[in-house]
């Protein structure tokens, strides 16, 4: 995980919450190095150091996808990392939510244009090469319908005060990246159902618009195609398996019946895996029969291979998405175990012109593992980075001031000691950094939180079996 530090960067040395040892730990010159495995004991505060006054005591956001959901796209909660690039071409910000078109969309648009163009050649042969322009219009209109599907999820999320990171149109449909989980099963059900509902409404509207149009014309064929495609999107997404909308609805029902969100996730995820196997085997068989209107005609070996490939891709997406849903549910179950106060490293304050060797001596003597640069009045200015300390040879440390190795504090790098769980991780993700200043509600310095320590604690929590 690319969080903070790297090979050679000192860390906490184990997966246990970082607490504060009594007395000196590593030799002078490496007070921020790895501690011996095991729980460290509280220490006696050192007089004159305002940051050295505490003991440390331990104490499934969703993606709603249309057509084929490819799993949770949300960033890993334990990984405070820089915000990802937009994810394609920014098309606009309806309701304040950015909408991106992924590069893979152009591939599927070309595929739809080619396939639909072939169908138009049989229905409207007089179009000639112009059929591909009509097909391209159909591809764009179809994905506009997908966008409406995703906007339905987005508006429901906004109504329930859930943050929506972005909407992305991609190869197998779209995804609304909703960053937090619904608080109740009822809201979860509504959040999932509104997407397929809007697709059904669109199918109905296209059907009504088709009635006065003469069949066998370009408008008639386009309206019929959009009606059928939206109907397929709605039906497919209502299938009761994660990561589809129907899986979210099943999860909500089981959650309501059992009172346990995890039970709902497990049930819907396994149904999703069964659905993936069904798609893998059943879709090619259906396409080879007269079910989709082939009339028993021989469609050829190439079409058979294409159907099998499409089924394999869809099955893989559904299977992977179901697994991701299980993993994210487990993750959310363990999030409350992360507490900023527990994970914070003891810190000592040093002024800007303090030599690094002297700062490390003070930290070692106090049993601290972090340095906070303060002004003459004791107000924090910056944090000395672990990686920077490691990069300074010991013989040069008396000649280098701590200010030259420090990262200036921004508002986002000040973290409340009371934060825990998802609130803590959201705060860290909002301002990616390797270290954060942890403060009490009064503004007093509590210590320094390392992103690497948060990751290690999370990995340890995830390794424990679920109750």
pLDDT (tens digit per residue) in 311-355: 888 889 899 988 888 888 777 777 777 899 999 999 999 999 999
What is residue 79's predicted lDDT score, i.e. its pLDDT?
A: 42
pLDDT higher than 90, residue 439: yes
CATH 3.10.580.10 residue spans of the chain: 1-59+339-467
Q: What percent of the chain has pLDDT over 70?
A: 77
Predicted pLDDT at 344 = 95
pLDDT of 5 over the 60 cut? no
Average the pLDDT over 261-270 and give the result.
92
Q: What is the pLDDT of residue 144?
A: 95
187 contacts: CB under 8 Å, gap ≥ 6: 160
Matching residue, tokens 């300390």? 389
364-398 per-position pLDDT tens digit: 999 999 999 999 989 999 999 888 999 999 999 99
> String of b and e for 190-199 (b: at least 16 CB within 10 Å)?
bbbbbbbbbb
**Local confidence band at 301 (pLDDT 50, 70, 90 cut-offs):** low
- pLDDT tens for 83-102 read 444 578 999 999 999 999 99
The CA distance from 90 to 158, in Å, is 20
- State residue 67's pLDDT score: 40
Q: Regarding predicted confidence, which is higher, 12 or 181? A: 181
Strands 348-351 and 173-178: unpaired
Dist. CA 16–CA 342, nearest whole Å: 10
- Residue 303: what pLDDT? 65
- Residues belonging to the chain: 467
| pLDDT at residue 139, rounded to an integer | 94
Residue located via tokens 């893998």:
280
| 40: confidence class by pLDDT, cuts 50, 70, 90 | very low
Q: 377-380: list long-range contacts, CB under 8 Å, 24+ apart.
A: 378/50, 378/349, 380/51, 380/349, 380/409, 380/437, 380/445
d(CA 451, CA 298): 60
Region of 296 (left: φ > 0; alpha: ψ -120 to 50; beta: rest) is: left
Q: How confident is the model at residue 63 (pLDDT cuts 50, 70, 90)?
A: low
Q: What angle do CA 257, 261, 263 make, to 5 degrees?
A: 70
Distance between CA atoms of residues 113 and 467, nearest Å? 51
| 445/48: higher pLDDT | 445
For residue 43, what pLDDT band results from cuts at 50, 70 and 90? Answer: very low
- 29 burial class (0-12, 13-18, 19+ CB within 10 angstroms)? middle
The whole-number average pLDDT for the span 92-116 is: 92
CA angle 15, 17, 18 (to 5 degrees): 105
Q: Is the pLDDT of residue 77 over 90?
A: no
Q: What is the pLDDT of residue 208?
A: 97
Mean pLDDT, rounded, for 143-165:
96
Q: Which fold has domain 1-59+339-467?
A: CBS-domain (3.10.580)
360 pLDDT more than 60: yes
SS3 assignment, position 155 = helix
Q: Which of 158, 243, 148 is closest to 201 using CA atoms?
A: 148
Mean pLDDT of the chain: 80
Q: What was the pLDDT predicted at 304?
A: 73
Q: Which of 121-135, 223-237, 325-339, 423-437 has the highest mean pLDDT?
A: 223-237
Six-digit token string for 274: 């069964």
Q: Can you say whether the dihedral through the CA atoms of 374, 439, 363, 31 is positive or negative?
A: negative
* Residues 436, 380 contacting (CB under 8 angstroms): no
Average pLDDT of the residues in 194-216: 95
Query: DSSP assignment, residue 130?
Result: G
In this predicted structure, what is the pLDDT of residue 64?
A: 54
DSSP reduced 3-state for 184? coil
CA 407 to CA 429: how far, in whole Å? 17
């Amino acid at each position: 995980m690319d969080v903070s530090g790297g090979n050679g960067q000192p860390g906490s040395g184990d997966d246990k919450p970082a607490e504060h040892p009594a007395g000196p730990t590593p030799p002078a010159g490496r007070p921020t190095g790895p501690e011996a495995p095991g729980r460290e004991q509280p220490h006696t505060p050192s007089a004159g150091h305002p940051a050295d006054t505490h003991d440390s005591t331990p104490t499934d956001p969703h993606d709603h996808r249309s057509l084929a959901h490819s799993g949770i796209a949300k960033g890993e909660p334990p990984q405070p990392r820089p915000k990802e690039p937009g994810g394609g071409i920014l098309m606009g910000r309806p309701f304040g939510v950015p909408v991106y078109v992924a590069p893979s969309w152009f591939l599927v648009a070309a595929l739809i244009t080619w396939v639909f163009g072939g169908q138009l050649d049989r229905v409207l042969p007089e179009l000639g090469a112009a059929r591909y322009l009509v097909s391209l219009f159909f591809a764009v209109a179809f994905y506009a319908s997908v966008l409406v599907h995703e906007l339905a999820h987005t508006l429901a999320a906004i109504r329930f005060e859930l943050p929506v990171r972005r909407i992305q149109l991609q190869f197998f449909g779209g995804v609304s990246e909703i960053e937090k989980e619904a608080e109740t099963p009822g809201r979860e059900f509504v959040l999932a159902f509104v997407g397929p509902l809007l697709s059904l409404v669109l199918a109905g509207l296209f059907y009504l618009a088709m009635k006065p149009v003469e069949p066998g014309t370009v408008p008639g064929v386009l309206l019929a195609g959009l009606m059928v495609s939206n109907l397929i999107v709605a039906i497919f997404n209502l299938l009761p398996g994660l990561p589809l909308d129907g899986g979210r609805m099943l999860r909500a029902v089981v959650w309501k019946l059992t009172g346990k969100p995890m039970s709902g996730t497990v049930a819907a995820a396994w149904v999703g895996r069964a659905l993936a196997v069904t798609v893998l085997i059943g879709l090619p068989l259906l396409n080879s029969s007269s079910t989709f209107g082939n009339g028993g005609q021989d469609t050829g070996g190439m079409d058979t291979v294409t159907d099998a490939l499409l089924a394999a891709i869809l099955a893989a997406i559904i299977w992977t998405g179901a697994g991701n849903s299980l993993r994210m549910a487990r993750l959310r179950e363990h999030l409350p175990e992360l507490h900023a106060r527990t994970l914070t490293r003891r810190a000592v304050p040093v002024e800007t012109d303090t030599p690094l060797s002297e700062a490390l001596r003070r930290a070692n003597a106090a049993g601290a593992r972090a340095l906070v640069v303060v002004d003459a009045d004791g107000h924090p200015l910056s944090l000395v980075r672990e990686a920077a300390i490691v990069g300074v040879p010991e013989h040069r440390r008396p000649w280098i001031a701590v200010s030259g190795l420090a990262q200036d504090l921004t508002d986002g790098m000040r973290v409340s000691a009371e934060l825990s769980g998802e609130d803590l991780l959201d705060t860290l993700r909002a301002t990616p950094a390797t270290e954060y200043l942890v403060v009490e509600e009064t503004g007093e310095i509590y210590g320094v939180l390392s992103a690497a320590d948060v990751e290690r604690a999370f990995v340890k929590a995830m390794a424990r079996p679920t109750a």
